A and B are shown apart, each in its own frame.
Chain A
């Protein structure tokens, strides 16, 4: 058991260091911080709202992650397949599950670093007023879980191609569909022909509605479980896809 986690950790460690080996990490962190605070102050009208909360900050996260998570995750498997290193990985004494989980965790911890670096905005709101820090903590956890769901989806889809750009595009499009799943635009298109339970399933898959509940500070177990199950499902499909696509 110990060696099992040990191998996963070695994969995780290599992958996480990989982000910092290129300028990618600093560029990403800069872009994330600039966009998230820019959106908070300009689009979210943080000051005009005159409220001591971070709703203006968190409400933009689904849209930010829609672009930024595919950017982090697109290389996870596409690059292994393009460079042929997947052959090296698979012939090591390690299971596909260890590989998939180790890689995913590295990208997920990387987004945790990005979220932690956004802490100044939390300090600012505490300096200016008296916010409910429980709500903010829950929002941070929810945001990280949603990021994980986007990343697991991207990791899974990046197995389908050797081209990082294609991996990025299909992940963003799939992510967009999942965000929009609760909107009437998509629902009405489905409602006309599908049975009710399908419409309801689709609407319940909406990242946006799950995240907005968490964001309001409701510790909604359903939504937390939703994001976790999304991660597990995508990683499970990812493991199967690695087995199927490894030699293509």
Chain B
């Protein structure tokens, strides 16, 4: 069994003069959950539409489980489960009817197997309560779950989910993330989102695209390091800091990028770039005590994925 379930190279897609996707490479292995991040209109959905065979790329090729999607679309599509943006479904059908329709179209011809898969979906995705209700009468959360169920009905190796948690309440989001984590062990999953905490919660890799270009492709924890986005140490003091003390502290601490602010007559603030490893907190506090300064609070500020995202996509 090949490890790379999705292998896309040099994907390009333009609509008229607008270049939606510009030379994107993407490989996803079994067991990986790749988070697709990017501002609206960055090319996330277009890329996903190409990976699922809905759109044909202008150039570049896509291998699905080693099968060329362009030459053998029917064979390749069998390995994919897809939740399109907005989770479209036939609103006049009942949940069970709709899932059984997709199951049959996905090639589950054996009635027993189909029924077993339908039972699995009802239990796994918690659809039992709405099983025989028309989809148009369901809440947004349930509609989204029906969309996930139709993508999973044939137990595909590859799962492509376009904004699976969009419009869900916090509990439902949590459930959806748990579900994705649970099924991720032997599948290759691509999810797009603009909720960054989601990427930290479920993804083993984050891919950031903006203006159709791939800007980052690594583990969520590594994103910040590579951007030289250092964390900061912030120390709050209950003393006023005058300029002589300030100069002395700077001289004695011997760290780069130290910023000392006098906030008011009874408080001051020291900011220095660095993390737990590069800064010796004990030494710093000892030094401050020597100056008769009283430390009220000391904490590290880590760059959030939000800031990193903004930095990357806006080129700050």
Interface residues of A (CB under 8 A from B): 3, 6-7, 10-11, 14, 18, 21-22, 83-85, 87-88, 90-95, 246-247
Q: Are A93 and B101 in contact (CB under 8 A)?
A: no
Q: Which of B49, B84, B105, B150 contacts A7 (CB 8 A)?
A: B105
Q: Are A88 and B89 in contact (CB under 8 A)?
A: yes
B16 shortest CB reach to chain A, Å: 12
Q: Are B105 and A94 in contact (CB under 8 A)?
A: yes
A110 shortest CB reach to chain B, Å: 15
Which B96-139 residues have C-beta < 8 A from chain A?
Answer: 101-102, 104-107, 109
Q: Which of B73, B92, B104 contacts A18 (CB 8 A)?
A: B92
Q: Are A93 and B49 in contact (CB under 8 A)?
A: no
Q: Are B74 and A88 in contact (CB under 8 A)?
A: no
Chain B residue contacts of A247, Cβ below 8 A: 49, 54-55
B203 shortest CB reach to chain A, Å: 23
Q: Are A87 and B84 in contact (CB under 8 A)?
A: yes
Bound-complex Cα distance A21 to B55 (A): 31
B78 interface residue, CB < 8 Å from A?
Answer: yes
> Do A84 and B102 contact each other (CB < 8 Å), given the known contacts A91-B54, A246-B54?
no
Q: Are B102 and A92 in contact (CB under 8 A)?
A: yes
A74 shortest CB reach to chain B, Å: 16
Bound-complex Cα distance A95 to B73 (A): 9
Bound-complex Cα distance A94 to B49 (A): 16
Q: Which of B52, B78, B88, B107 contacts A84 (CB 8 A)?
A: B88
Q: Which residue of B lies closest to A90 (CB)?
A: B54
Q: Are A10 and B105 in contact (CB under 8 A)?
A: yes
> Do A83 and B91 contact each other (CB < 8 Å), given the known contacts A14-B101, A91-B54?
yes
A27 shortest CB reach to chain B, Å: 15
Chain A residue contacts of B142, Cβ below 8 A: none
A92 shortest CB reach to chain B, Å: 5
B98 shortest CB reach to chain A, Å: 9
B299 interface residue, CB < 8 Å from A?
Answer: no
Chain B residue contacts of A246, Cβ below 8 A: 54
Q: Which of A87, A94, A95 contacts B88 (CB 8 A)?
A: A87
B77 interface residue, CB < 8 Å from A?
Answer: yes
* Chain A residues touching B, majority SS: helix
Contact pattern, B 24-52, Cβ under 8 Å of A = 1, otherwise 0: 00000000000000000000000001001
Bound-complex Cα distance A84 to B83 (A): 11
Q: Are A85 and B90 in contact (CB under 8 A)?
A: yes
Nearest 10 interchain pairs by C-beta: A84-B88, A87-B84, A93-B77, A91-B52, A93-B74, A85-B88, A92-B105, A21-B92, A91-B82, A10-B104
> Do A93 and B106 contact each other (CB < 8 Å), given the known contacts A14-B101, A87-B88, A247-B54?
yes
B295 interface residue, CB < 8 Å from A?
Answer: no
Which range contains the number of B residues in contact with the other chain?
20 to 34
Bound-complex Cα distance A94 to B82 (A): 14
B93 interface residue, CB < 8 Å from A?
Answer: yes
Bound-complex Cα distance A7 to B104 (A): 8
Q: Are A85 and B77 in contact (CB under 8 A)?
A: no
Q: Which residue of B lies closest to A3 (CB)?
A: B107
Can you report 8 A-B residue pairs in the complex whose CB atoms are below 8 A from each other? A3-B109, A14-B90, A88-B150, A91-B77, A91-B80, A91-B82, A246-B54, A247-B49
Interface centre among A22, A83, A91 (most CB of B within 10 A): A91
Q: Which residue of A lies closest to B52 (CB)?
A: A91
Chain B residue contacts of A95, Cβ below 8 A: 74
Q: Which residue of A lies closest to B73 (CB)?
A: A93
B53 interface residue, CB < 8 Å from A?
Answer: yes
Q: Which residue of B lies closest to A10 (CB)?
A: B104
Chain A residue contacts of B104, Cβ below 8 A: 10
Bound-complex Cα distance A22 to B82 (A): 28
B58 shortest CB reach to chain A, Å: 13
> Do A93 and B107 contact each other (CB < 8 Å), given the known contacts A22-B92, A84-B88, A247-B49?
yes
Bound-complex Cα distance A180 to B73 (A): 43
Please name 8 further chain A to chain B contacts, defined as beta carbons within 8 Å, in addition to the given A3-B109, A90-B54, A246-B54, sorted by A numbering: A3-B107, A7-B105, A14-B90, A14-B93, A88-B82, A88-B84, A92-B106, A93-B105
Q: Are B53 and A90 in contact (CB under 8 A)?
A: yes
B141 interface residue, CB < 8 Å from A?
Answer: no
> Do A88 and B88 contact each other (CB < 8 Å), given the known contacts A7-B105, A10-B104, A93-B74?
yes
Bound-complex Cα distance A182 to B104 (A): 46
Chain B residue contacts of A21, Cβ below 8 A: 92-93
B18 shortest CB reach to chain A, Å: 13
Bound-complex Cα distance A204 to B73 (A): 41
Q: Which residue of A lies closest to B88 (CB)?
A: A84
A21 shortest CB reach to chain B, Å: 5
Q: Which residue of B lies closest to A83 (CB)?
A: B88
Bound-complex Cα distance A146 to B118 (A): 41
Chain A residue contacts of B92, Cβ below 8 A: 18, 21-22
